[in-house]
Amino acid sequence: MAFTVLCLTVVRWVPVVFVVLLFVWSTYAYIVQMCLYMVTDLVERIFYIVIFSVLLFMCIWCFIKAIFTPTAGVPFQYFLTADEKDQAEKGKAECKEVVENKGIKLRVQGRTVRGCVRFCEACQCIKPDRTHHCSNCQKCVLKMDHHCPWINNCVCYSNYKFFFLFLMYSFLFCLFIAATSCQYFVKFWTMDLSIEGYGKFNILFLFFVSIMFTISLLTLHSYHSYLITVNRTTLESLRAPVFRSGPDKNAYNRGCRKNFIEVFGRSPLLWLLPVFTE
Q: Which of 19, 120, 204, 263 binds Zn ion (CB under 5 A)?
A: 120
Q: Of 21 and 122, which CB lies nearer to Zn ion in the complex structure?
A: 122
In DSSP notation, 53-67 reads HHHHHHHHHHHHHHH
- Is 230 an interacting residue with respect to Zn ion (CB under 5 A)? no
Known catalytic residue: 148? yes
Nearest residue to 108 (alpha-carbon basis) of 81, 126, 83? 126
Strand-pairing partners, residue 147, are: 154
Smallest distance, Zn ion to C-beta of residue 160, A: 13
| One of 35, 80, 123, 126 touching Zn ion (CB under 5 A) | 123
Task: Name the packing angle between helices 197-229 and 256-264 (round to 10°).
Answer: 120
38 touches Zn ion (CB under 5 A): no
Residue by residue, DSSP assigns 169-193 as: HHHHHHHHHHHHHHHHHHHHHTT--
CB of 269 to Zn ion, least distance (A): 31
Question: Judged by CB under 5 A, does residue 117 bind Zn ion?
Answer: no
Half-sphere exposure of 83 (CA within 13 A, CB side): 1
Stretch that binds Zn ion, among 22-30, 119-127, 175-183, 261-269 (CB under 5 A): 119-127
- Give the closest residue to 112 by CA, choosing from 95, 135, 133: 95
Total of residues contacting Zn ion (CB under 5 A): 10
Give the nearest distance from C-beta 112 to Zn ion in angstroms: 14
Contacting Zn ion (CB under 5 A), which of 134, 261, 270, 273? 134
**Contact of 152 with 16, CB cutoff 8 Å:** yes
Please answer whether residues 119 and 96 qualify as being in contact, where contact means their C-beta atoms are separated by less than 8 angstroms: yes
C-beta closer to Zn ion: residue 56 or 154 = 154
Catalytic residue (one of 123, 125, 148, 154) = 148
Count CB neighbours of 234 within 10 A. 14
Rounded CA separation 230/258 (Å):
10
Residues 136, 147 contacting (CB under 8 angstroms): yes
The answer to whether residue 195 forms part of the interface with Zn ion (CB under 5 A) is no
Q: 137 or 235: whose CB is closer to Zn ion?
A: 137
Closest contact distance (angstroms) between CB of 139 and Zn ion is 6
Question: Judging by DSSP bridges, how do beta strands 246-247 and 139-141 pair with one another?
Answer: unpaired
Shortest distance (Å) from residue 263 CB to Zn ion: 19
Q: Binding string to Zn ion for residues 152 to 181, with x set by CB under 5 A, is what?
A: --x---------------------------
Map residues 135-154 to x or -, x wherever contact with Zn ion holds by CB under 5 A. Answer: -xx--x------x------x
Burial of 232 (0-12, 13-18, 19+ CB in 10 A): buried
Stretch that binds Zn ion, among 87-95, 114-122, 165-173, 247-255 (CB under 5 A): 114-122
Hey, which residues are catalytic here?
148
Binding region for Zn ion (CB under 5 A): 120, 122-123, 133-134, 136-137, 140, 147, 154
